């Protein structure tokens, strides 16, 4: 004990301080040890913190910006929840998050969780929006593709995640505001309620009737009863007639820059005013074309199916094409114009290619997409400046150019397949070489891509609609009408005579639907007298002679607002700027335009075309379309010089027959004296001067 006491640890004077020293040493040791464990390791994650919300109340879908710190530069596995309901952020940074209020959210705290660590909560009040309400639909019925205006309230200023459905089938709206929505009837829709859903809340339903089949207009198909004509899904034949013009789809002028926009609304009104029910939407091949109007002018066209991002410039001075990038704006325009025509009862002949330009108006600055200098894809047709070239249209299979053309053609089909008023024209004026592989390939591709089946080793599923696929004539002077009749086209527009009257379809249609396009059958030369005036009576003859010889339709290559310098084609074009009229089209063609309208309206209203065949021998005029059955007979006779002529009515013997006259120049009708059938040389005298149309029908009606 003495020895221990001598150590001084238990001495009365020193024991307490020693114990204190030991305790301090123990604390220091422990503290140093803990610090040592942390030395060399990264600090733990920082806790996320919400400083503010830009809005603190709103309905489902309301965009909210969360401001704070320690959110991390990207979202990764981090989350945002509204009172426990996960949201889907649209933007994320270390200090800011953008996120819409998620469906199912209720009032409570917004919390950000990063690396498993939750932020502070900040209160957000979820409000209940006023329910969307539909007050009316315009129209209340129509076929697929019909544009419907939905009027009501509480739709929201923009669509966002809101929807429109037709009996449960989602539509794709084209315009949206808080009180009005425009949406075409979607493919697959059936009759039932239209419903607008906003923020998960559905509106009342308003009934819309989807017309039976595919609509009154089509899609058209060749009749199995009378191969001369197209029929609607209801089985009714349709006669087509109308103007078409070069810039009704792609804009063009001689300004040297982007051409002025074409007024399509005015053009549709023009077609309706003249009673037309068909037009061609032109698609030319060259961004810049030289000397087309024989004046040496350089014209430009826009827009194009392919994007032009470059790098580098094409020969027309604009960025090079990237043929792998299709230009959505081009196809949006196409759909909008076809839809607008459909809404106005007009058939749209959608032209895929032209070809004429490649043989007549190429130049070193034309910018043709498939010439090597004009694209970034290493594709070239081998064009040499100063020559004309159409090698890209006489290719064989697996050609790089045709692959891009195929992709474009499929996109056209995808764009307008669900619209009932479509006919395709794969090319307007091709060369004979194109008929060896390119034209049959393109027609077969479009037919298979819509109709389904195997084509050149690829299997296609059938699309909802199948539209007629046609082809225009050969280039002027390259007459190959037999090749057109022998092709796989559903319809053709042959050259026939070229520049002289008469220019009528052959009465034996060889199983083809034939549309007589004045651009091929007459050119513009035959239209005009030497002083520039129009040969109106000859043109009325052109209309009615073709009708009575079994033509499916007539279309007029109308200069409309394009000035052709140096000739009399469009002499009265009003206030032209860059060779385009700004004050309206030349009115000298109005009598012909109007006569086409009178013809299509009369024929479609009167004739049962499916039972009628060209029988010129039944009339002394040589022009008669007839169903000369014993009962239900019907005759349409054209008298080019009017006056007195005869009709063989021996077959409907002892049948009462009604008689009506049409003045083809004015559209006026006159009821004639009823007669009894049986005479082989029944005489008729037109009640007015000039050419005349006579309609005779069984008094009990045609079959």
- What's 301's domain CATH number? 3.20.20.80
The secondary structure of 23-52 as a DSSP string is HHHHHHHHHHHHHHHHTTSPPPPPPPEEEE
- The region of weakest confidence among 20-29, 211-220, 277-286, 529-538 is 20-29
- 332, 309: one domain: yes
Q: What is the pLDDT of residue 18?
A: 43
Beta strand residue intervals within 40-143, DSSP E:
49-53, 57-58, 63-69, 79-82, 85-86, 91-92, 96-100, 108-114, 117-118, 122-126, 133-138, 141-142
- Comparing 34 with 186, the larger pLDDT belongs to 186
Count of domains observed in the chain: 5
State the average pLDDT over residues 133-152: 86
- pTM of this structure: 0.74
Whether the predicted pLDDT of 324 surpasses 70: yes
pLDDT (0 to 100) of residue 12 = 39
Mean pLDDT of 384-397: 63
Residue 299 in domain: yes
Report the percentage of the chain scoring pLDDT > 70.
90
Residue 389, pLDDT > 70, answer no
What pLDDT sits at residue 129? 75
Confidence tier at 511 by pLDDT (50, 70, 90): very high
Nearest in space to 283 (alpha carbons), one of 180, 382, 76, 429: 429
Instruction: Tell whether the model's pLDDT for residue 28 goes beyond 60.
Output: no
Q: Which of 604, 638, 659 is the last residue of a domain?
A: 604
The pLDDT assigned to 582 comes to 86
pLDDT tens across 653-680, in order?
A: 999 999 999 999 999 999 999 999 999 9
How many degrees, rounded to 5, is the angle at CA 84 between CA 79 and CA 89?
35
pLDDT tier, 565 (very low <50, low <70, confident <90, very high otherwise): low
Cα–Cα distance measured from residue 492 to residue 334, given in angstroms and rounded to the nearest whole number: 22
Percent of the chain beyond pLDDT 90?
69
- Whether 252 has a pLDDT exceeding 90, the answer reads yes
Which pLDDT band holds residue 138 (cuts at 50, 70, 90)? confident
pLDDT level of residue 607 (50, 70, 90 thresholds): very high
- Residues 322 and 430: their CA atoms lie apart, in Å, by 25
What pLDDT band is residue 393 in, cutting at 50, 70 and 90? Answer: low
Write down the pLDDT at residue 357.
Answer: 85
Give the pLDDT mean for 129-142: 88
**Average pLDDT of the residues in 389-403:** 67
Helices 264-273 and 328-343, axial angle in degrees (round to 10): 30
Residue 492 token pair:
């053709």
Helix (H, G, I), strand (E, B) or coil at 121: coil
State the CATH number of the domain containing residue 59.
2.60.40.10
Q: Where does the pLDDT of residue 6 fall: very low under 50, low under 70, confident under 90, or very high at 90 and above?
A: very low
Number of Cβ within a 10 Å radius of residue 24: 10
Is the model more confident about 20 or about 443? 443
122 and 137 share one domain? no
Check whether 4 has a pLDDT greater than 50.
no
Is the residue at 703 inside a domain?
no
Burial of 41 (0-12, 13-18, 19+ CB in 10 A): exposed
Same structural domain, 86 and 228: no
Q: What is the pLDDT of residues 101-118, one digit of tens each?
A: 998 899 999 999 999 999
Predicted confidence at residue 268, as pLDDT, reads: 96
pLDDT exceeds 60 at position 3: no
Going by pLDDT thresholds of 50, 70 and 90, the confidence category of residue 598 is very high
Question: Is residue 531 in a domain?
Answer: yes
What is the token pair recorded at 658?
């009604």
The reported pLDDT for the residue numbered 326 is 97
Categorize the per-residue pLDDT at 702 as very low, low, confident or very high, splitting at 50, 70 and 90: confident
Same domain for 34 and 66, yes or no, is no
pLDDT value, residue 160:
86
Residue 602 has pLDDT above 90, yes or no: yes
| CA-based nearest residue to 285, from 444, 438, 440, 477 | 438
Please say which residue of 101, 126, 151 terminates a domain. 126
Instruction: Tell me what the mean pLDDT of segment 451-471 comes to.
Output: 95
pLDDT at 286: 94
Q: Which residues make Cβ contacts (< 8 Å) with residue 306, sequence separation at least 6?
A: 321, 322, 323, 325, 326, 327, 369, 404, 408
Is residue 44 a part of any domain in this protein?
no
- Cα(17)–Cα(3) distance, integer angstroms: 20
Instruction: Output the six-digit token pair for 371.
Output: 């010439």
Classify the phi-psi angles of 496: left when phi > 0, otherwise alpha if psi is within -120 to 50, otherwise beta: left
Q: Are residues 57 and 191 in the same domain?
A: no
- Please give the mean pLDDT across all residues of the chain: 88
Domain-located, residue 215: no
Is residue 477 included in any domain, yes or no? yes
Would you place residue 30 in the very low, low, confident or very high pLDDT band (cuts 50, 70, 90)? very low
Q: Is the pLDDT of residue 367 over 90?
A: yes
Task: Say if residue 191 is in the same domain as residue 233.
Answer: no
Q: 384: which 2 tokens?
A: 């040499």
In which domain, by residue range, is 12 found?
2-38
- The model's pLDDT over 404-459, given as tens digits with 9 standing for 90+, comes to 999 999 999 999 998 999 999 999 988 888 888 889 999 999 999 999 999 999 99
Q: Which two tokens stand for residue 176?
A: 């949206």
Q: Which residue, of 146, 181, 210, is where some domain finishes? A: 210
Over residues 366-371, mean pLDDT? 94
* Statement: residue 564 has pLDDT above 50: yes
Query: 384 with 471, same domain?
Result: yes
Residue 663 maps to which CATH number?
2.60.40.1180
Same domain, 507 and 376: yes
Q: Is residue 635 part of a domain?
A: yes
Asked whether residue 478 falls in the same domain as residue 382, the answer is yes
Are 535 and 448 part of one and the same domain? Answer: yes
Stretch among 58-67, 71-80, 626-635 having the lowest mean pLDDT: 58-67
* Whether residue 538 is found in the same domain as residue 638: no
User: How confident is the model over 317-324, as a mean pLDDT?
Assistant: 97
Is 266 a domain residue? yes
Q: Name the strand (E) or helix (H) holding 592.
A: helix 590-606
Match 């379809």 to its residue by tokens. Answer: 505
- For residues 268 and 312, state if they share a domain: yes
**How many angstroms separate the CA atoms of 228 and 511, rounded?**
7
């Amino acid at each position: 004990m003495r020895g221990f006491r001598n150590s001084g640890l238990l001495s009365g004077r020193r024991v307490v301080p020693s114990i204190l020293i030991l305790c301090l040493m123990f604390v220091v040791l422990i503290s140093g040890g803990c610090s040592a464990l942390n030395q060399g390791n990264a600090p733990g994650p920082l806790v996320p913190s919400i400083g503010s919300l830009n809005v603190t109340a709103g309905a489902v879908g309301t965009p909210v910006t969360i401001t704070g710190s320690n959110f991390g530069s990207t979202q990764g596995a981090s989350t945002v929840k509204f009172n426990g309901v996960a949201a889907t952020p649209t933007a994320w940074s270390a200090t800011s998050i953008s996120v819409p209020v998620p469906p199912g959210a209720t009032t409570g705290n917004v919390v950000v969780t990063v690396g498993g660590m939750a932020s502070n909560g900040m209160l957000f009040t979820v409000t209940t929006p006023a329910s969307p309400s539909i007050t009316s639909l315009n129209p209340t019925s129509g076929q697929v593709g019909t544009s419907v205006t939905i009027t009501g309230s509480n739709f929201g200023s923009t669509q966002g995640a809101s929807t429109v459905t037709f009996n449960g089938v989602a539509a794709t709206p084209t315009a949206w505001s808080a009180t009005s929505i425009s949406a075409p009837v979607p493919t697959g829709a059936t009759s039932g309620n239209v419903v607008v859903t906003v923020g998960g809340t559905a509106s009342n339903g308003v009934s819309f009737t989807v017309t039976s089949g595919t609509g009154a207009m089509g899609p058209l198909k060749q009749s199995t009863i009378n191969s001369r004509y197209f029929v609607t899904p209801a089985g009714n034949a349709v006669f087509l007639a109308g103007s078409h013009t070069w810039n009704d789809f792609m804009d063009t002028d001689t300004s040297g820059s982007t051409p002025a926009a074409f007024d399509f609304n005015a053009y549709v009104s023009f077609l309706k005013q003249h009673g037309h029910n068909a037009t061609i939407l032109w698609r030319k091949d060259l961004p810049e074309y030289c000397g087309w109007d024989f004046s040496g002018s350089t014209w430009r066209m826009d827009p194009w199916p392919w994007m032009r991002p470059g790098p580098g410039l094409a020969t027309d001075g604009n960025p090079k094409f990237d043929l792998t990038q299709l230009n959505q704006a081009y196809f949006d325009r196409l759909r909008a114009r076809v839809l607008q025509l459909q809404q106005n009862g007009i058939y749209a002949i959608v032209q895929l290619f032209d070809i004429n330009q490649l043989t007549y108006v190429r130049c070193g600055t034309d910018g043709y997409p498939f010439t090597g200098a004009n694209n970034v894809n290493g594709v070239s047709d081998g064009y040499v400046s100063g020559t004309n070239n159409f090698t890209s249209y006489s290719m064989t299979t697996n050609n790089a150019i045709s692959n891009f053309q195929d992709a474009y053609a499929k996109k056209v089909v995808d764009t307008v397949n669900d619209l009932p008023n479509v006919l395709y024209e794969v090319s307007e004026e091709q060369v004979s070489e194109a008929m060896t592989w390119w034209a049959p390939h393109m027609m077969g591709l479009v037919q298979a891509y819509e109709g389904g089946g195997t084509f050149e080793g690829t299997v296609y599923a059938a699309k909802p609609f199948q539209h007629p696929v046609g082809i225009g004539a050969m280039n002027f002077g390259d007459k190959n009408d037999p090749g057109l009749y022998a092709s796989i086209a559903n319809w053709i527009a042959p050259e026939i005579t070229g520049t002289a009257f008469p220019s009528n379809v052959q009465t034996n249609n060889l199983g083809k639907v034939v549309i007589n396009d004045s651009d091929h059958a007459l050119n513009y030369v035959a239209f005009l007298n030497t002083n520039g005036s129009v040969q109106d009576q000859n043109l009325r003859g052109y209309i009615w002679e073709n009708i009575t010889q079994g033509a499916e339709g007539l279309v007029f290559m109308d200069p409309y607002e394009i000035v052709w310098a140096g000739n009399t084609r469009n002499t009265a074009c009003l206030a032209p700027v860059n060779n385009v009229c700004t004050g309206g089209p030349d009115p000298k063609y109005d009598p012909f335009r109007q006569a086409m309208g009178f013809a299509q309206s009369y024929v479609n209203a009167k004739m049962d075309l499916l039972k009628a065949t060209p029988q010129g021998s039944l009339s002394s005029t040589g022009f008669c379309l007839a169903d000369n059955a014993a009962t239900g007979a019907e005759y349409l006779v054209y008298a080019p010089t009017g006056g007195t002529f005869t009709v063989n009515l021996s077959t409907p013997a002892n049948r009462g027959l009604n008689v009506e006259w049409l003045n083809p120049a004015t559209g006026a009708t006159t009821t004639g004296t009823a007669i009894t059938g049986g005479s082989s040389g029944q005489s008729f005298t037109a009640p007015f001067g000039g050419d005349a149309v006579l309609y005779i029908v069984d008094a009990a009606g045609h079959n």
